[in-house]
Amino acid sequence: MGKFLAILGGLVAIAGGVFLLIRWWAAFKIVVLGVLPPALIFGGLIAVIAGISSMKDAARTKKLEEEAKEEEKKKKK
């Protein structure tokens, strides 16, 4: 019974959202136009930070692999 109520509640929420979106289209458009630039800025910032972190991790991994190879060569001698 709980699953049915969750589905029914979801459908009511979707219907209400569509109705209000149509009714308040101008206000919705203003909100989207106000939210979009900061969202793009923060999204881009997160992408840049993730890229820099990935490059640092790759360099650190390469350095550790080279050190491990050097240690293996020293052990074999």
pLDDT band at 74 (very low <50, low <70, confident <90, very high): confident
* Domain map (residue ranges) of the chain: 2-76
Residues 11-48 as b/e (b if ≥16 CB within 10 A, e otherwise) read eeeeeeeeeeeeeeeeeeeeeeeeeeeeeeeeeeeeee
Contacts of 28 (CB under 8 A, 6+ apart): 21
**Mean pLDDT for the chain?**
92
pLDDT higher than 90, residue 70: no
Three-class SS of residue 68? helix
What is the pLDDT, as a whole number, of residue 59? Answer: 94
What is the pLDDT, as a whole number, of residue 5? Answer: 93
pLDDT higher than 90, residue 57: yes
d(CA 46, CA 29): 25
pLDDT higher than 80, residue 4: yes
